[in-house]
């Protein structure tokens, strides 16, 4: 790990998690029923009849939920469009969609009851190709197959192309991929006279709470969502997923219900959007960019989920971090009869960077320029509006990209053949993404009578180490040991509101809220110490769990006792963050620009098409690394995840049937796929809006891997591939085609 930038005070600390005691699947309630789903075997069909009488009559079955039971409540849900039914109503739109759900005394009984449910379908022609879905005679997934469209422009691209010396146009495709968190979706729901309590593997507990309150017509204080430890999410557990169904089934059964999806069911719950992106770029002979036109089609599957925002984000991110006088962007989100697509680490970012950064090297090769020199010539600089009307860029991209490529010895590197039939080369990529999500977070810090502290936050711990970071921030502001700080999170009945856990927002936004709450407690301590020492506040210091005045000290417990005239009592601090935050840094969108930089060295076996990543260098423009070890782990995890969609991950459909919904036919990266050398560079300029100048980094590492590797393959072999994943067969076929074309 390298560190580039300022050497401001670093807040280090070990991993620290506390608050929750189990995973969702370990929650057991008295009388709890176990649920199983009745999936549709067809991708597109009208439901003619559902007969669940035999299932209901099976001993041990408590309830069967079909569309007919969804009465006295809202029947649909969704983050952007309320278009997804809790169970299918009248029509199924993708293979695996639940047409019914069963609650029984145990899983075996529920599975037996599933086989007793009879469903008559009238099969409809499926549409699984998003371009075909937009044809006038296409079968309709919804009343129209266009889910959302997004457009913006400035200048005059047609004039820009006419003024350019060269115009390049290329189309790139990105596959459907599955998140594969280690823990599939799991939910336990209780519905009784007091309201709803849900234990869920949800990333956004408050959004789930709000959705359940809307669906079941309850006030917010009658819905409680508790999120224990989560075995990974990566966006797959954003917004409501199985919580509405589990709660509706609990209402029908009159008892708590547990639903835990299998891996195959999770595959058919949510995925990343596939995309087809076309970029047209006009440049001058010296490499100066003049105009860019971007067109993308985004497959959101059977329901919108987060498809509206993803359609917008791929449009925002596809032009790249470059300066263009003329720009036009059009993106379209399309419904198809496939697994609904939703949030996945850096929504739209990898799809956009794959197209943008691949074409950057195409342009450089055609102009006879070094790819790094072309980028440096056109990169936006700090303070520049990389998107008109948006927050100016904070990051020094040129410094970061020089550090990343320099680590690979870019200027002196030459493609080589270490042995017959094997070629080596290097490639790079640089991207920015508009991150941060909605800037609404609140936190409470409680300083207890013994001088220890409790931090209450809504941020969900998914393995990213958010509890550690929040403990570090509180400990730093209060001048106390991290061992004296406990963090409790993700229980809407206890902790204050946080909009969501995602979009790299937690350290920046919840971190600000925790910092504000801790400062409020510190101010109370200083006020009490001022009375104790009969001194002005300016002469006091806070450190090591005490307030000092010269050589005199008084510990936090004694100050609390002073406040409450004896034992007990506590000081409470509140932290509020919104677009109106006092720092003034959150008033403009995005909250910050997240940077993703990467450079790769690869080895290509020409006989087999096998690609090995020998070295990968990633740059984290984090503003301030509050916990460098966790920052490095976040970035390496993101890059490792991206190796999957770069090299082999792809959900394969045939006639609307998902062919590989398992970890035998669908491969995810393992340690064997790690680069031989994996280096992370921390770029710390203190230019973020978060605590100590921090900004989020959870998504930057995932965006640049695919184009960097593809560019390295081109550098090694002269073969350009525009379709992911870069499987041995695809690479081999491209190599063979190049040989044939070369005579």
CATH number at residue 512: 3.30.365.10
Percent of the chain with pLDDT over 70: 96
Task: Give the number of other CB atoms < 10 A from CB of residue 608.
Answer: 13
- Considering only residues 38 and 28, tell me which one the structure prediction assigns the higher pLDDT: 38
Same domain, 499 and 387: no
Residue 725 is predicted with a pLDDT of 98
Return d(Cα 39, Cα 45) in angstroms, integer.
12
Task: Give Cβ neighbours of residue 492 (< 8 Å, ≥ 6 apart).
Answer: 205, 206, 209, 223, 224, 225, 226, 458
Same domain, 484 and 537: yes
Return d(Cα 614, Cα 194) in angstroms, integer.
58
Return d(Cα 202, Cα 439) in angstroms, integer.
19
Average pLDDT of span 552-576? 94
Residue 468 is predicted with a pLDDT of 95
Residue 701 is predicted with a pLDDT of 95
- Given pLDDT bands bounded at 50, 70 and 90, which one contains residue 12? very low
Percent of the chain with pLDDT over 90: 91
Return d(Cα 290, Cα 328) in angstroms, integer.
12
Same domain, 515 and 448: yes
Domain boundary among 546, 577, 608: 577
Residue 10 is predicted with a pLDDT of 36
The pTM of this model reads 0.95
Same domain, 620 and 646: yes
Domain boundary among 267, 294, 322: 267
Same domain, 474 and 602: no
Same domain, 208 and 323: no
- Please give the biggest Cα pair distance in the chain: 92
Return d(Cα 70, Cα 63) in angstroms, integer.
13
Task: Give the number of other CB atoms < 10 A from CB of residue 482.
Answer: 18
Residue 41 is predicted with a pLDDT of 98
Tell me which residue range forms the domain holding 325: 274-436+590-741
Same domain, 210 and 289: no
Same domain, 549 and 680: no
Q: Is the pLDDT of residue 39 over 50?
A: yes
Residue-wise pLDDT for 573-605, tens only, equals 999 999 877 666 788 899 999 999 999 999 999
Average pLDDT of span 644-671? 95
Residue 13 is predicted with a pLDDT of 38
Task: Give Cβ neighbours of residue 624 (< 8 Å, ≥ 6 apart).
Answer: 8, 684, 686, 688, 690, 691, 692, 693, 694, 695
Average pLDDT of span 516-538? 93
Domain boundary among 213, 232, 267: 267
Q: Is the pLDDT of residue 8 over 50?
A: no
Same domain, 616 and 542: no
Task: Give Cβ neighbours of residue 236 (< 8 Å, ≥ 6 apart).
Answer: 179, 181, 185, 266, 269, 270, 342, 343, 344
Average pLDDT of span 322-345? 98
Same domain, 501 and 629: no
Return d(Cα 185, Cα 262) in angstroms, integer.
8
Q: Is the pLDDT of residue 1 over 70?
A: no
Same domain, 623 and 692: yes
Domain count, the chain: 3
Residue 24 is predicted with a pLDDT of 82
Among the listed ranges 227-231, 280-284, 440-444, 690-694, which one has the minimum average pLDDT value? 227-231
Sheet holding 274-283, edge to edge: 146-154, 326-335, 289-301, 274-283, 166-174
Average pLDDT of span 307-328? 98
Same domain, 298 and 324: yes
Task: Give Cβ neighbours of residue 691 (< 8 Å, ≥ 6 apart).
Answer: 473, 507, 508, 511, 512, 514, 515, 624, 626
Whether 236 is covered by a domain: the verdict is: yes
Whether 519 is covered by a domain: the verdict is: yes
CA-based torsion, 75, 78, 81, 84: positive or negative: negative
Q: Is the pLDDT of residue 3 over 90?
A: no
């Amino acid at each position: 790990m390298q560190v580039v930038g300022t050497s401001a005070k670093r807040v280090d600390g070990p991993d620290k998690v506390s608050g929750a005691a189990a995973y969702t699947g370990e929650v057991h309630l008295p009388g709890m029923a176990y649920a199983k789903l009745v999936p549709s075997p067809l991708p597109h069909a009208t439901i003619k009849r559902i007969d669940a009488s035999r299932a209901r009559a099976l001993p041990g079955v408590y309830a069967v939920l079909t569309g007919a039971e969804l009465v006295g409540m809202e029947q649909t849900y969704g983050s952007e469009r309320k278009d997804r039914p809790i169970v299918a109503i009248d029509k199924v739109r993708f293979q695996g969609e639940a047409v019914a759900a069963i609650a029984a005394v145990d899983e075996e009984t529920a599975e037996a009851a599933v086989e007793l449910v009879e469903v008559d379908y009238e099969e409809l022609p499926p549409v699984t190709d998003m371009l075909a879905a937009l044809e006038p005679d296409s079968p309709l997934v919804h009343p129209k197959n266009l889910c959302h469209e997004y457009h913006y422009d400035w200048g005059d691209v047609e004039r820009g192309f006419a003024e350019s010396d060269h115009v390049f146009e290329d189309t790139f495709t990105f596959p459907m991929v599955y998140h594969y968190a280690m823990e599939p979706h799991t939910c336990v729901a209780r519905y009784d006279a007091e309201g709803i309590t849900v234990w869920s593997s949800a990333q956004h507990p408050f959004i789930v709470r709000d959705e359940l309150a809307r669906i079941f017509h309850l006030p917010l204080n009658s819905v409680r969502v508790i999120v224990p430890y989560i075995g990974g999410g990566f966006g797959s557990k954003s917004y409501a997923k199985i919580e509405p169904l589990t709660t509706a089934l609990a209402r029908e059964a009159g008892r708590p219900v547990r639903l835990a999806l299998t891996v195959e069911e999770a595959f058919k719950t949510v995925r990343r959007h596939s995309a087809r992106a076309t970029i047209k770029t006009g440049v001058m002979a010296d490499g100066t960019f003049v105009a860019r036109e971007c067109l993308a089609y985004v497959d959101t599957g059977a329901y919108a989920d987060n498809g509206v925002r993803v359609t917008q984000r791929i449009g925002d991110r596809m032009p790249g971090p470059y300066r263009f006088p003329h720009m036009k962007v059009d993106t379209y989100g399309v419904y198809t009869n496939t697994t609904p697509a939703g949030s996945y680490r850096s929504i739209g970012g990898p799809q956009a960077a794959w197209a943008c950064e691949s074409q950057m090297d195409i342009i450089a090769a055609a102009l006879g320029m070094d790819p790094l020199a072309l980028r440096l010539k056109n990169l936006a600089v700090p303070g520049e509006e990389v998107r008109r009307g948006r927050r100016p860029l904070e990051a020094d991209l040129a410094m970061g990209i020089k550090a990343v490529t320099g680590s690979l010895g870019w200027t002196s590197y030459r493609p080589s053949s270490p042995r017959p039939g094997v070629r080596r080369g290097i490639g790079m990529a640089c991207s920015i993404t508009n991150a941060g999500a909605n800037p609404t977070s609140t936190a409470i810090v409680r300083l207890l009578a013994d001088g220890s502290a409790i931090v209450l936050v809504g941020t969900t711990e998914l393995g990213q180490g958010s509890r550690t970071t929040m403990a570090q921030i509180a400990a730093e502001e209060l001048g106390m040991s991290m061992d004296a700080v406990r963090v409790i999170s993700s229980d809407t009945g206890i902790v204050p509101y946080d909009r969501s856990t995602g979009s790299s927002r937690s350290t920046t936004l919840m971190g600000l809220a925790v910092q504000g709450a801790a400062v409020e407690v510190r101010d109370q301590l200083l006020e009490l110490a001022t009375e104790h020492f009969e001194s002005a506040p300016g002469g006091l210091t806070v450190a090591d769990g005490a307030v000092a005045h010269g050589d005199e000290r008084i510990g936090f417990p004694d100050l609390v006792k002073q406040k409450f005239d004896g034992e007990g009592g506590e000081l409470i601090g509140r932290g509020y963050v919104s677009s109106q935050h006092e720092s003034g840094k959150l008033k403009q969108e995005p909250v910050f620009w997240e940077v993703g930089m990467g450079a790769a060295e690869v080895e290509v076996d020409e006989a087999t098409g096998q690609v090995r990543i020998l070295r990968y260098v990633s740059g984290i423009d984090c503003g301030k690394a509050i916990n460098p070890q966790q920052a490095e782990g976040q970035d390496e995890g993101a890059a490792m995840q991206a190796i999957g969609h770069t090299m082999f991950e792809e959900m394969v459909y045939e006639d609307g049937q998902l062919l590989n919904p398992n970890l035998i036919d669908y491969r995810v990266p393992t340690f064997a796929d790690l680069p031989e050398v994996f280096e992370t560079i921390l770029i710390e300029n203190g230019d973020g809006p978060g605590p100590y100048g921090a900004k989020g980094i959870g998504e930057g590492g995932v965006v640049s891997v695919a184009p960097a590797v593809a560019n390295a393959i081109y550098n090694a072999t002269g073969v350009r591939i525009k379709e992911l994943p870069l499987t041995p067969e695809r690479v081999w076929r491209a190599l063979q085609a190049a040989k044939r074309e070369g005579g």
